[in-house]
A = this chain, B = another copy of it.
Amino acid sequence: MKRDPDRISLEKSKRDDQRSRILEVGAELLAERGIEAVNSNQIARAAGVGVGTFYAHFPDKLALRHALAAEAVERLGARVERAVAAAGGEVELQVRALVEAVVAFAEEAPARFRVAFGREAVSGAPGRAAIGLSDRAALRRLQELRRGGRIDASIDPAVAARAFTCMQNGVVCWWLEDPGRAPRDALVDTLARLHPAVAGRTSA
Protein backbone atom coordinates (compact mmCIF):
# COMPACT_ATOMS: atom_id res chain seq x y z
CA MET A 1 0.00 0.00 0.00
CA LYS A 2 2.93 2.26 0.60
CA ARG A 3 5.07 3.64 -2.15
CA ASP A 4 8.31 5.45 -2.05
CA PRO A 5 8.45 8.86 -3.74
CA ASP A 6 10.30 7.52 -6.77
CA ARG A 7 7.54 5.12 -7.51
CA ILE A 8 4.96 7.82 -7.33
CA SER A 9 6.82 10.15 -9.62
CA LEU A 10 7.49 7.35 -12.06
CA GLU A 11 3.84 6.45 -12.22
CA LYS A 12 2.83 10.02 -12.49
CA SER A 13 5.10 10.53 -15.40
CA LYS A 14 3.75 7.39 -17.06
CA ARG A 15 0.23 8.66 -16.88
CA ASP A 16 1.38 12.07 -18.03
CA ASP A 17 3.22 10.44 -20.87
CA GLN A 18 0.02 8.90 -22.07
CA ARG A 19 -1.76 12.19 -21.91
CA SER A 20 1.08 13.84 -23.78
CA ARG A 21 1.05 11.18 -26.46
CA ILE A 22 -2.66 11.64 -26.93
CA LEU A 23 -2.25 15.39 -27.17
CA GLU A 24 0.67 15.06 -29.56
CA VAL A 25 -0.92 12.54 -31.85
CA GLY A 26 -4.28 14.26 -31.55
CA ALA A 27 -2.81 17.58 -32.65
CA GLU A 28 -1.26 15.91 -35.66
CA LEU A 29 -4.47 14.18 -36.70
CA LEU A 30 -6.75 17.12 -36.00
CA ALA A 31 -4.48 19.49 -37.89
CA GLU A 32 -4.25 17.17 -40.85
CA ARG A 33 -7.80 15.89 -41.18
CA GLY A 34 -10.05 18.07 -39.09
CA ILE A 35 -12.18 17.07 -36.16
CA GLU A 36 -14.96 15.46 -38.17
CA ALA A 37 -12.71 13.18 -40.15
CA VAL A 38 -10.98 11.77 -37.10
CA ASN A 39 -12.57 9.52 -34.51
CA SER A 40 -11.70 8.69 -30.99
CA ASN A 41 -10.62 5.16 -31.86
CA GLN A 42 -8.13 6.44 -34.40
CA ILE A 43 -6.65 8.91 -31.96
CA ALA A 44 -6.36 6.26 -29.28
CA ARG A 45 -4.88 3.73 -31.66
CA ALA A 46 -2.40 6.25 -33.03
CA ALA A 47 -1.40 7.23 -29.52
CA GLY A 48 -0.85 3.60 -28.66
CA VAL A 49 -3.51 3.45 -25.98
CA GLY A 50 -6.92 1.83 -25.63
CA VAL A 51 -10.12 3.71 -26.43
CA GLY A 52 -11.07 3.69 -22.80
CA THR A 53 -7.81 5.40 -21.96
CA PHE A 54 -8.66 8.21 -24.30
CA TYR A 55 -11.91 8.71 -22.44
CA ALA A 56 -10.15 8.51 -19.11
CA HIS A 57 -8.17 11.58 -20.10
CA PHE A 58 -10.72 13.56 -22.07
CA PRO A 59 -14.50 13.45 -21.82
CA ASP A 60 -14.74 13.56 -25.59
CA LYS A 61 -13.08 14.48 -28.85
CA LEU A 62 -13.98 18.14 -28.54
CA ALA A 63 -12.42 18.34 -25.11
CA LEU A 64 -9.16 17.20 -26.66
CA ARG A 65 -9.34 19.95 -29.23
CA HIS A 66 -10.26 22.43 -26.56
CA ALA A 67 -7.32 21.39 -24.43
CA LEU A 68 -4.98 21.70 -27.38
CA ALA A 69 -6.34 25.10 -28.32
CA ALA A 70 -6.30 26.42 -24.79
CA GLU A 71 -2.73 25.32 -24.31
CA ALA A 72 -1.63 26.92 -27.56
CA VAL A 73 -3.49 30.14 -26.87
CA GLU A 74 -1.89 30.42 -23.49
CA ARG A 75 1.62 29.58 -24.62
CA LEU A 76 1.47 31.87 -27.61
CA GLY A 77 -0.13 34.66 -25.61
CA ALA A 78 2.64 34.62 -23.05
CA ARG A 79 5.28 34.45 -25.70
CA VAL A 80 3.88 37.40 -27.62
CA GLU A 81 3.52 39.44 -24.49
CA ARG A 82 7.13 38.85 -23.57
CA ALA A 83 8.34 39.62 -27.07
CA VAL A 84 6.37 42.84 -27.33
CA ALA A 85 7.47 43.98 -23.91
CA ALA A 86 11.08 43.42 -24.89
CA ALA A 87 10.70 45.31 -28.14
CA GLY A 88 10.81 48.82 -26.75
CA GLY A 89 8.40 51.70 -27.34
CA GLU A 90 8.49 51.85 -31.10
CA VAL A 91 5.23 50.56 -32.62
CA GLU A 92 6.93 49.13 -35.72
CA LEU A 93 9.31 47.15 -33.60
CA GLN A 94 6.53 45.92 -31.35
CA VAL A 95 4.50 44.73 -34.30
CA ARG A 96 7.49 43.00 -35.79
CA ALA A 97 8.25 41.29 -32.51
CA LEU A 98 4.65 40.13 -32.29
CA VAL A 99 4.63 38.66 -35.77
CA GLU A 100 8.03 37.12 -35.23
CA ALA A 101 6.83 35.46 -32.04
CA VAL A 102 3.76 34.09 -33.75
CA VAL A 103 5.70 32.65 -36.66
CA ALA A 104 8.33 31.17 -34.38
CA PHE A 105 5.63 29.44 -32.34
CA ALA A 106 3.97 28.18 -35.49
CA GLU A 107 7.25 26.69 -36.64
CA GLU A 108 7.89 24.97 -33.36
CA ALA A 109 4.41 23.54 -32.96
CA PRO A 110 2.76 23.57 -36.35
CA ALA A 111 0.07 21.04 -35.53
CA ARG A 112 -0.91 22.86 -32.36
CA PHE A 113 -1.00 26.13 -34.22
CA ARG A 114 -3.24 24.78 -36.93
CA VAL A 115 -5.60 23.20 -34.43
CA ALA A 116 -5.76 26.30 -32.30
CA PHE A 117 -5.86 28.92 -34.99
CA GLY A 118 -6.96 27.17 -38.16
CA ARG A 119 -10.40 27.42 -39.63
CA GLU A 120 -11.97 25.00 -37.19
CA ALA A 121 -10.83 27.06 -34.26
CA VAL A 122 -13.20 29.89 -34.93
CA SER A 123 -16.11 28.32 -33.20
CA GLY A 124 -16.46 25.12 -31.33
CA ALA A 125 -19.60 23.13 -31.10
CA PRO A 126 -22.66 25.24 -30.48
CA GLY A 127 -22.65 26.19 -26.85
CA ARG A 128 -18.97 25.57 -26.42
CA ALA A 129 -17.04 28.80 -26.21
CA ALA A 130 -14.91 29.56 -29.21
CA ILE A 131 -11.24 29.62 -28.54
CA GLY A 132 -8.19 30.48 -30.53
CA LEU A 133 -9.48 33.48 -32.35
CA SER A 134 -9.32 36.06 -29.64
CA ASP A 135 -8.66 39.51 -30.95
CA ARG A 136 -9.04 41.15 -27.55
CA ALA A 137 -5.37 41.95 -27.11
CA ALA A 138 -5.11 43.39 -30.60
CA LEU A 139 -8.28 45.39 -30.03
CA ARG A 140 -7.04 46.97 -26.85
CA ARG A 141 -3.77 47.99 -28.45
CA LEU A 142 -5.48 49.50 -31.47
CA GLN A 143 -8.01 51.41 -29.41
CA GLU A 144 -5.16 52.91 -27.48
CA LEU A 145 -3.32 53.96 -30.63
CA ARG A 146 -6.53 55.33 -32.04
CA ARG A 147 -7.15 57.47 -28.97
CA GLY A 148 -3.63 58.73 -29.25
CA GLY A 149 -4.28 59.71 -32.86
CA ARG A 150 -1.53 57.38 -33.94
CA ILE A 151 -3.65 55.57 -36.49
CA ASP A 152 -5.78 56.81 -39.29
CA ALA A 153 -9.37 57.89 -38.66
CA SER A 154 -10.55 55.63 -41.45
CA ILE A 155 -9.59 52.61 -39.41
CA ASP A 156 -12.10 51.11 -37.00
CA PRO A 157 -10.27 49.37 -34.16
CA ALA A 158 -12.78 46.51 -33.83
CA VAL A 159 -12.75 45.76 -37.53
CA ALA A 160 -9.01 46.16 -37.77
CA ALA A 161 -8.37 43.88 -34.80
CA ARG A 162 -10.50 41.21 -36.35
CA ALA A 163 -8.90 41.78 -39.71
CA PHE A 164 -5.40 41.31 -38.41
CA THR A 165 -6.28 38.25 -36.42
CA CYS A 166 -7.89 36.59 -39.43
CA MET A 167 -5.02 37.58 -41.65
CA GLN A 168 -2.38 36.33 -39.29
CA ASN A 169 -4.02 33.00 -38.56
CA GLY A 170 -5.00 32.42 -42.15
CA VAL A 171 -1.63 33.30 -43.59
CA VAL A 172 0.40 31.35 -41.10
CA CYS A 173 -1.75 28.24 -41.48
CA TRP A 174 -1.53 28.56 -45.25
CA TRP A 175 2.23 28.83 -45.00
CA LEU A 176 2.51 25.89 -42.62
CA GLU A 177 0.73 23.68 -45.12
CA ASP A 178 3.63 24.26 -47.48
CA PRO A 179 6.47 26.50 -46.29
CA GLY A 180 7.70 26.62 -49.86
CA ARG A 181 4.88 29.01 -50.61
CA ALA A 182 6.88 31.95 -49.38
CA PRO A 183 10.19 32.64 -47.68
CA ARG A 184 9.89 32.98 -43.95
CA ASP A 185 11.15 36.56 -44.09
CA ALA A 186 8.58 37.55 -46.65
CA LEU A 187 5.92 36.16 -44.35
CA VAL A 188 7.08 38.14 -41.36
CA ASP A 189 7.76 41.32 -43.33
CA THR A 190 4.43 41.28 -45.08
CA LEU A 191 2.37 40.56 -41.99
CA ALA A 192 4.22 43.22 -40.05
CA ARG A 193 3.71 45.67 -42.86
CA LEU A 194 -0.01 44.97 -43.07
CA HIS A 195 -0.68 45.21 -39.36
CA PRO A 196 -3.18 48.03 -38.83
CA ALA A 197 -0.87 49.79 -36.42
CA VAL A 198 1.73 50.01 -39.15
CA ALA A 199 -0.35 50.10 -42.32
CA GLY A 200 -2.73 52.61 -40.80
CA ARG A 201 -0.32 54.90 -39.03
CA THR A 202 -1.05 58.57 -39.55
CA SER A 203 1.36 59.94 -42.13
CA ALA A 204 2.40 63.15 -40.40
User: Which A residues contact B (CB, under 8 angstroms)?
Assistant: 33, 36-37, 119-120, 122-123, 126, 152, 154-156, 158-160, 162-167, 169-171, 174-175, 181-183, 186-187, 189-194, 196, 199-200
Contact = CB atoms under 8 A, between A and B. Distances in A.
Nearest to A122: B119
A156 B126 contact: no
Contact of A171 (B120, B123, B159, B186): B159
Q: Say whether chain A's binding surface is mostly helix, strand, loop, or mixed.
A: helix
A174 B36 CA distance: 23
Contacts of A126: 33, 37
A194 B193 contact: no
A186 B159 CA distance: 7
B154 A193 contact: yes
Given A163-B167, A167-B170, 9 more contacts: A119-B119, A156-B187, A156-B190, A162-B170, A162-B171, A162-B174, A166-B171, A190-B196, A194-B200
